[in-house]
Amino acid sequence: MSATPRVSVVTAVYNDPLYLRASLEGVLAQEGVDLEVVAVDDGSTDSCPRILDELARRDARLRVLRVPHGGLTRALVAGGDAARGRYVARHDADDLSLPGRLAAQAALLDRCEELSFVSSATVTIGPGGEPLFTRRRSEDPARAARELVEAPDGAPTHGSVMFRLDAYRRAGGYRPQFRYAQDHDLWL
């Protein structure tokens, strides 16, 4: 892993072991992109710390940060502060990214300097892994920007987004006073 990876994948973890191993293994298996994974353990009291330590021992690209439990937004702030990549990809502890997601999103940001962030379609699954619904955003940047403000569900799914680290920092990052909707606040 290089000292400055192209993509920093930021994952916040709090007592959510069900998909954690598959989630992080899927990210670490992504091809075509130099990456690091910053997994912020938000004071988990279950098996998550053990799973994170095991995966970090197997793959040096995974860095585990331990913080006292303060909630998702504070964990994401810590992850954003630790990120070293040009781009930050959000990936929740229960997200499963398809192969090629990170390379495709980074390539789009490379090509389109005017974009601050990009997202992908998402499929929400049920307890048995069955697909429940698919969520897609417009591929037209102007329309997607309007949807952020005008559409009732205008924000893309948080775990589908990749954004420029410098734009994130210029915007002030996630604001800790937003316990929920910190993603929508940041996009706006």
CB 28 within 8 A of CB 61: yes
**Which amino acid, residue 97?**
S
Q: What is the DSSP letter of 149?
A: H
Q: Using one digit for the tens of pLDDT, what is the confidence trace for 145-188? A: 777 777 766 677 778 899 999 999 999 999 999 988 888 888 88
CB 6 within 8 A of CB 107: no
In whole angstroms, what separates CA 84 from the centre of its chain? Answer: 14
For the beta carbon of residue 163, count every other beta carbon within 10 angstroms: 22
**Which amino acid, residue 177?**
Q
**Which amino acid, residue 100?**
G
pTM of the model: 0.92
Residues 186, 188: Cα–Cα separation, whole Å: 5
- Residue percentage of the chain with pLDDT more than 90: 67
Task: State the average pLDDT over residues 66-92.
Answer: 97
pLDDT score, position 22: 94
If pLDDT is split at 50, 70 and 90, which confidence band does 91 have?
very high
Q: Using one digit for the tens of pLDDT, what is the confidence trace for 94-142? A: 999 999 999 999 999 999 999 998 988 888 888 888 988 887 777 777 7
More confident position, 180 or 80: 80
pLDDT score, position 149: 76
Mean of pLDDT over the chain: 91
Paired strand residues for 41: 13, 66
pLDDT over 70 at 54, yes or no: yes
Task: State the average pLDDT over residues 63-91.
Answer: 97
